[in-house]
Copies of this chain bind each other. A is one copy, B any other.
Amino acid sequence: MNTRNHLSDINSVHQVKLIEKGIVDIPMLQILQPDGSVYKGADVPEVSKELAIKMYETMQFIRILDERMVAAQRQGRISFYLASTGEEAAAVASAAALEPQDMIMSQYREQGALAFRGYTTQQFMNQMFSNEQEPNKGRQMPIHYGDKALNFMTISSPLGTQIPQAAGYAYGQKMAGEPAVTICYFGEGAASEGDFHAGLNMAAVLNCPAIFFCRNNGYAISTPAAEQFAGDGIASRGLGYGIKTIRVDGNDALAVFAATKRAREIALEEQCPVLIEAMSYRLAAHSTSDDPSSYRSKEEEAKWADKDPIKRLAGWLAQQGWLDEEANKKELETMRQEVLQELKRVEQVPVCVIDEIITDVYDKPTWNLEEQLTELKQHIAKYPEAYPKTSGRLNHG
């Protein structure tokens, strides 16, 4: 037996000693102050102007997209949306610290990471309108993005399932000798799932180069963090798994960038997982199905609105002399126009032909699926008005 985990190195004590909360201090990495100036003595990560602007504009783009799509949902143009307002830095700056070959497994509020990878407005729209141009073929609800070309795993609604999967994916990357890691995003709520425990423990034992990135935004729908766990956040669990852990201010893009960069180095060099807890706040409603006013105060929201990560980064950019207000304004206008145009365009794109209802269940449709499709097509042909989305292209080929 490897005694590492058993009796060696354990000190003896002769009075009952309680190990209690508070005996470890898990501080939070902050580099930027609310106004964007750098904390005294802070290690500012190396970030080129180009990268800094890209982060900034991606965050702005996501804010615009979120606002517009929430409105589109209200207008009944899409069935569902989920905004990341206030948390843009966590997703964008962490993605910025990765390499393109790193796999991203996200929860659902990390559209910023996807946008940073290069997902276009057009691609976002295709997904949200479940159309035939969407690589996932419109089978899932809006915001369940996935793009193989960008190494962004298709999102799955059941919470926490991607956590052990990320361990396995990272193990595969290691076995393949790839200089790549897997980043796995999840909320502090999802961290209560059994899959969280399984995934982190397995990653630690099996030395998987994965970054587990928890967005602790204070809520899981209506459930405040205090009713989710009683320990010191999610970071305090890292210790129990023997996983190196960093807590970071999730609204501080530079801090998130620095933490993730460091985590990636460790994961790759030491071939082990790293846990990051990014402290933030879900300024948005949970989703368009939610109304937070019944479970939290306007004051609380306002307090956090003041910590806006976009403003904070803008402050820093300005202090660096990198912020061209004029150019940025134009850029924002372009983004807005693009979103509006794409919204219009996408409403014209049809959903997949009905034949796709049975593909991808298996590699090839099985006999029962073939039978069911044949019957279904006959049925649609008989009642074309009842199935307007597909009856027009029944015999497309």
Interface of A with B (CB < 8 Å)? 1-7, 10-21, 23-31, 39-43, 192-198, 201, 204-205, 216, 218-219, 224-233, 235-247, 249, 258-259, 262, 266, 279, 296, 300
- Alpha-carbon gap, A43 to B279, bound state (A): 42
Complex formed: what's the CA distance from A193 to B231 in Å?
A: 19
What are 11 inter-chain pairs, A to B, with CB distance below 8 A?
A: A2-B225, A6-B224, A6-B279, A13-B30, A16-B258, A18-B244, A19-B235, A204-B229, A205-B229, A230-B243, A232-B239
Contacts of A10 in B (CB 8 A): 26-28, 233, 247, 279
Provide the bound-state CA to CA distance between A216 and B1, in Å. 13
In the bound complex, residues from chain B placing their C-beta under 8 Å from that of A1 are 218-219, 224-226, 296, 300
Q: Are B6 and A218 neighbours in the complex by a CB distance under 8 Å? A: yes
Q: Which of B201, B229, B238, B244 contacts A5 (CB 8 A)?
A: B229
A206 CB → nearest B CB, Å = 9
- Residue pair B20, A244 in contact (C-beta under 8 Å): yes
Q: Is the CB of B240 within 8 A of A231?
A: yes
Does A205 lie within 8 Å of B193, measured CB to CB? no
Of chain B, the residue at the smallest CB distance from A12 is B30
Other 10 A-B pairs with CB < 8 A, given A5-B228, A204-B230? A2-B225, A5-B229, A13-B30, A14-B39, A17-B27, A19-B24, A21-B242, A197-B197, A230-B241, A237-B237
Query: Considering the chains assembled together, what is the distance between the CA atoms of A40 and B13 in angstroms?
Result: 10
- A201: B residues at CB distance < 8 A: 192, 229-230
A2-B42 CB under 8 A given contacts A31-B14, A239-B236: no
- With A241-B231, A246-B18: A5-B225 Cβ-Cβ less than 8 Å: yes
Partner of A229, one of B195, B237, B238, B242: B242
Is there contact, CB below 8 Å, between B245 and A18?
yes
Which residues does chain B contribute within 8 Å of A27, judged by CB atoms? 10-13, 17
Residue in B29, B192, B236, B242 whose CB lies within 8 Å of A13: B29
Shortest distance between the CB of A223 and any CB in chain B (Å): 10
Contact call A205/B218, Cβ cutoff below 8 A: no
Flag if A279 contacts B7 (CB, 8 Å).
yes
CB atoms of A41 and B14 under 8 A apart: yes
Of B19, B26, B31, B195, the residue contacting A244 (CB under 8 A) is: B19
Cα distance, A23 to B19, chains bound together (Å): 13
Is there contact, CB below 8 Å, between B20 and A23? Answer: no
A4 nearest CB across to chain B (Å): 5
CB contacts (< 8 Å) of A31 on chain B: these are 14
A396 to chain B minimum Cβ distance, whole angstroms, is 45
- How near does chain B come to A231, taking the closest CB pair, in angstroms? 4
Q: Is the CB of B23 within 8 A of A24?
A: yes
Task: Report the bound CA distance from A300 to B228 in whole Å.
Answer: 42
Q: How far is the CB of A272 from chain B (nearest CB, A)?
A: 9
Contacts of A2 in B (CB 8 A): 224-227
User: For residue A19, which residues in chain B have a CB less than 8 angstroms away from its CB?
Assistant: 24, 26, 235, 238-239, 244-247
A30 contact from B14, B40, B224, B244, Cβ within 8 A: B14
How distant is A163 from chain B, measured CB to nearest CB, in Å?
A: 11
Asked if A6 and B247 sit within 8 Å, CB to CB, the answer is no
Contacts of A195 in B (CB 8 A): 194
- Expressed in whole angstroms, the minimum distance between the Cβ of A119 and any Cβ of chain B is 29
Residues of B within 8 A of A7 (CB): 28, 279
CA gap between A26 and B19 in the complex, in Å = 7
